[in-house]
Amino acid sequence: MVHALRFPPHIATATSQFVVAFIAFSSTAMHLAYGDLQSGTSLYPAMALAIGVAAGAQIGARLSRRVDGGSSSAS
């Protein structure tokens, strides 16, 4: 998004994170609806992962402000 659409890095990060969060929420809801996440066995690891992702998203958003959005040429 940064190079192809010329979005600032912090906007690209936020947009990407929103899409990932929406997809993760909808897929988790479907797994719950189908009964794939039974309480006790696989629900707790999924909850722990969700907490880690939420914390990591906040850290990533803050770090993205420090990244230079200028174009760099890679050879």
Q: Which of 69, 66, 59, 67 is nearest to 7 (CA)?
A: 69
Would you state the structure tokens that stand for residue 16, as one six-digit string? 């990407």
pLDDT band at 75 (very low <50, low <70, confident <90, very high): very low
Q: Which of 16, 21, 13 is nearest to 49 (CA)?
A: 21
CA distance 71 to 21: 28
Range scoring the smallest mean pLDDT among 6-15, 25-34, 43-52, 65-74: 65-74
0.85 exceeded by pTM: no
